[in-house]
Amino acid sequence: EAGVAQSPRYKIIEKRQSVAFWCNPISGHATLYWYQQILGQGPKLLIQFQNNGVVDDSQLPKDRFSAERLKGVDSTLKIQPAKLEDSAVYLCASSLRIAGVGYEQYFGPGTRLTVT
Amino acid sequence: GDSVTQMEGPVTLSEEAFLTINCTYTATGYPSLFWYVQYPGEGLQLLLKATKADDKGSNKGFEATYRKETTSFHLEKGSVQVSDSAVYFCALTPNSGYSTLTFGKGTMLLVSP
């Protein structure tokens, strides 16, 4: 079974530029998550989708970050314009269901973003 | 809100030594608890989980017991290997509502031959 795919793996941009990350979840997984992992910290949830609808985006900086999952499968996370503090690893995860006891989230390899 | 606190690293051990990484949590109700591992250059992988009090999760020689009375979920392994060198994250998710994970800051483990 293929895992969660993400691209690109690495990206270097200058501040005020824009960038987009792509994620393809495990086939059949209804729920998709984007996390931000700053160096030395645990991942922090940015946004959670159930199929193509947003379930939780309370920690997404909406003035510069946006995300979509148009057909309920793959997803794109965009930052525009980028700031230095956006330098982090952006992790995508998926799970079979949205809620329930102990449902496992499967993580992709992440995209490492460096903003200079 | 929910939170997870892990011991700071790095934890440096020799091969075959005993490992403990402490994890405590604050949460409403009875969350599910997880340990994830992140090897260099890779994404997070679920190592083990426990969904109710007194449950013991185990995998690849690692164990952790869900202790409700001390709100803890400490990770242990009797004999570590060089290949166990990685960053370990303790996490929780509520057992009601959405399955959002709340992570600790992670603990780096370095095992030398």
For residue B48, the one-letter residue type is: L
For residue A15, the one-letter residue type is: K
What integer pLDDT is reported at residue A51 of this predicted model?
87
In the predicted structure, residue B99 carries a pLDDT above the cut 80:
no
In the predicted structure, residue B41 carries a pLDDT above the cut 90:
no
Residue from B98, B105, B107, B108 to probe the interface with A (highest A Cβ count within 10 Å) = B98
- At residue A84, the 3 state secondary structure works out as helix
Distance CA B67, CA A26 (A): 33
- Place A71 in a pLDDT band, splitting at 50, 70 and 90: confident
By the 8 A CB rule, do B55 and B66 touch?
yes
Average pLDDT over residues B52-74: 95
CB contact under 8 A, B44 and A43: yes
What integer pLDDT is reported at residue B40 of this predicted model?
86
**Residue B25 exposed, middle or buried by CB count within 10 Å (0-12, 13-18, 19+):** buried
Contacts of A41 in chain B (CB under 8 A): 105-106
- At residue B68, the 3 state secondary structure works out as coil
**Nearest C-alpha in A relative to B49:** A102
- At residue A76, the 3 state secondary structure works out as strand
In the predicted structure, residue A98 carries a pLDDT above the cut 80:
no
Cross-strand bridge partners of residue A10: A112
In the predicted structure, residue A54 carries a pLDDT above the cut 80:
yes
B42 min Cα distance to partner chain A (Å): 5
Q: Which phi and psi (to 5°) does residue B80 adopt?
A: -80, 155
Q: Output the six-digit token pair for A57.
A: 């985006």
Average pLDDT over residues A31-56: 92
- Place A33 in a pLDDT band, splitting at 50, 70 and 90: very high
Average pLDDT over residues A67-78: 93
A35's enclosing H/E stretch is strand A31-37
In the predicted structure, residue B104 carries a pLDDT above the cut 90:
yes
By the 8 A CB rule, do A106 and A114 touch?
no
